[in-house]
Amino acid sequence: MKVKYLVSLFLFFYSYIVFAIGVTDWRQTTPGGNEMNNFNDISLVFKSGNTVDNIFKWYFYKDHIICIIVNSWTDNMEFSYAVIDESTEHVKLFKNEKEWKIYIENSKLKPTVWTRWYRGDWSIFNNIFSILYFLIPAIIFLLFLFRKSNSLLKKIMYIGFLILLLYYILNFFPQSI
């Protein structure tokens, strides 16, 4: 009987180890309908098949991807700066950060409220196991909400649940505001 439990426990945890191998690679559709992935390095793949590689940091705004691109992965990292129009697949490169920022200002591509910079997968809720990370705390929050007492803890749990729900919703909309 103990052997069955040990084998099932081993298989349960082994499945997570096997699953973890593929978790590090990700592929997401951008708001403009193109694809970003990190199979070799973070790359943007247009619908036409053209790519922009070595993207270091980026944000989405008004059908554009504003990004920093790594030219050299050395101790003194060298960067290029880019503004990518997703609809026309036009990539405007800048060697100078100052010129890049001026272009962003003049083109009105600077978010007014919130700039959501990314360095990796922007959606953590892209598979069933990630959704469980949301559901387990949500169930705990709901259990506290339906208690009869009207305590401060209940109010804190209610606010926590709303914050978690807002975070979950924001993951579906990666654009800056």
Beta strands of the chain (E only): which ranges? 27-29, 35-37, 43-45, 51-52, 55-61, 64-72, 78-85, 90-94
How much is the pLDDT for 3? Answer: 66
Give percent of the chain above pLDDT 90: 29
Query: What CA–CA distance (Å, rounded) separates 37 from 24?
Result: 11
Confidence of residue 174 (pLDDT cuts 50, 70, 90): confident
How much is the pLDDT for 23? Answer: 56
How much is the pLDDT for 99? Answer: 95
Asked if residue 75 has pLDDT above 80, the reply is no
How much is the pLDDT for 93? Answer: 93
Asked if residue 81 has pLDDT above 90, the reply is yes
Q: How many CB atoms lie under 10 A from the CB of residue 37? A: 16
Q: Copy the structure tokens of residue 101.
A: 């920022």
Per-residue pLDDT of 146-156, as tens digits, reads 666 667 767 77
Q: Which residue has the tokens 């973070």?
A: 42
Q: Mean pLDDT across the stretch 92-112?
A: 93
Asked if residue 61 has pLDDT above 90, the reply is yes
How much is the pLDDT for 64? Answer: 94
| Residue 116: CA count within 13 A, CB half-sphere | 16
CA nearest to 64, candidates 92, 106, 42, 43: 92
